[in-house]
Amino acid sequence: MIAEALLYAATWPLTGKTHRKFIRYSVNLWSRAGRCAAEWADHEEKSRNAIRAATADLRRKRTAVVLGSGLLRDVPIEELARAFDTVVLVDLVHLASVRLSTKTHRNIRLIERDLSDYDELAAGREPEPLGFLRTVPYLDFVVSANLLSQIGRGVKRRCEAGDAGMPDDTVERLIAAHIAGLSGLACRHCLVTDIAYAVIDRNGRTHEEADLLFGVSPPPSKTTWKWPVAPLGEESQDYRIEHKVIATW
């Protein structure tokens, strides 16, 4: 708890006022990633491998953008920083630990941004969450890194909190807008996302399953794997939570 409190305190002054309310989610993820490092290692390596495969044959490597950069555990950031002239990391919050780890690379830029476009839809405008990428010069690669399902869950929480006047299909529209934004890019792009979860007991019996994309179809995957998000003992001694992940480029 002390490490979490220190990280929270260090991140607070570095984060814009509108995004400070999300710091605790990032700190909680950091804490769980540390506890579950061994169980998450395969997922993180497969995520990095998908990004490596997506960039392997690129002829030009000027600017790369990482959407949902998070803790950078699932992103081969050192390789991207060496290969591209500029790497832009985009997320709601950049923890102080992440900021410190990227300081050695002068070609890494950090941007705080809500990638859901919830506020645009709330204002009655058509969401275009990745429209800002059109202003990024010399853009050769974009990766959405284990972000899409987080957008869905975050939007669902905001809708359930009582935001009046939001369309009934808000979650689905914003997930679909992210996928459409990626597919509409003129450059190479890679999507890594968890698409479903299952709650499984000690005997291997599945008790609950859910679609993390809320019925929106993802693009055809090139590879899939399982991610033990909450192994036995993390949330309960009686069950584990496993996500299905896909990657495409």
pLDDT band at 165, cuts 50/70/90? confident
In the predicted model, is pLDDT for residue 207 greater than 70? yes
In the predicted model, is pLDDT for residue 163 greater than 90? no
Q: Is 83 a domain residue? A: yes
Q: Is 178 a domain residue? A: yes
pLDDT digits (tens, 9 = 90+) for 19-44: 999 999 999 999 999 999 999 999 99
Question: In this structure, are residues 178 and 115 in contact, taking their beta carbons and an 8 Å threshold?
Answer: yes
pLDDT band at 139, cuts 50/70/90? very high
DSSP category for residue 201 = E
**Residue 98 is which amino acid?**
V
In the predicted model, is pLDDT for residue 6 greater than 70? yes
Mean pLDDT of the chain: 96
Question: In this structure, are residues 16 and 112 in contact, taking their beta carbons and an 8 Å threshold?
Answer: yes
For the chain, how far is it from start to end, CA to CA, in angstroms? 39
Question: In this structure, are residues 66 and 79 in contact, taking their beta carbons and an 8 Å threshold?
Answer: no
Domain range enclosing 81: 38-248
Q: Is 33 a domain residue? A: no
Give percent of the chain with pLDDT exceeding 90: 95
User: What is the pLDDT, as a whole number, of residue 30?
Assistant: 98
In the predicted model, is pLDDT for residue 158 greater than 90? no
pLDDT digits (tens, 9 = 90+) for 53-64: 999 999 999 999
pLDDT band at 164, cuts 50/70/90? low
Q: Is 5 a domain residue? A: no
- The average pLDDT across 211-240 equals 97
Q: Is 30 a domain residue? A: no
User: What is the pLDDT, as a whole number, of residue 224?
Assistant: 98
Q: Is 17 a domain residue? A: no
Give the residue among 33, 123, 107, 103 at the shortest CA–CA distance from 65. Answer: 107
Instruction: Supply the CATH number for residue 57's domain.
Output: 3.40.50
User: What is the pLDDT, as a whole number, of residue 1?
Assistant: 85
**Residue 206 is which amino acid?**
T
User: What is the pLDDT, as a whole number, of residue 151?
Assistant: 96
Give the separation between CA 57 and CA 117, rounded to whole angstroms. Answer: 32
Enumerate the β-bridge partners of residue 201: 239
pLDDT digits (tens, 9 = 90+) for 111-137: 999 999 999 999 999 999 999 999 999
**Residue 14 is which amino acid?**
L
Q: What's the whole-model pTM score?
A: 0.96
Domain tally for the chain? 1
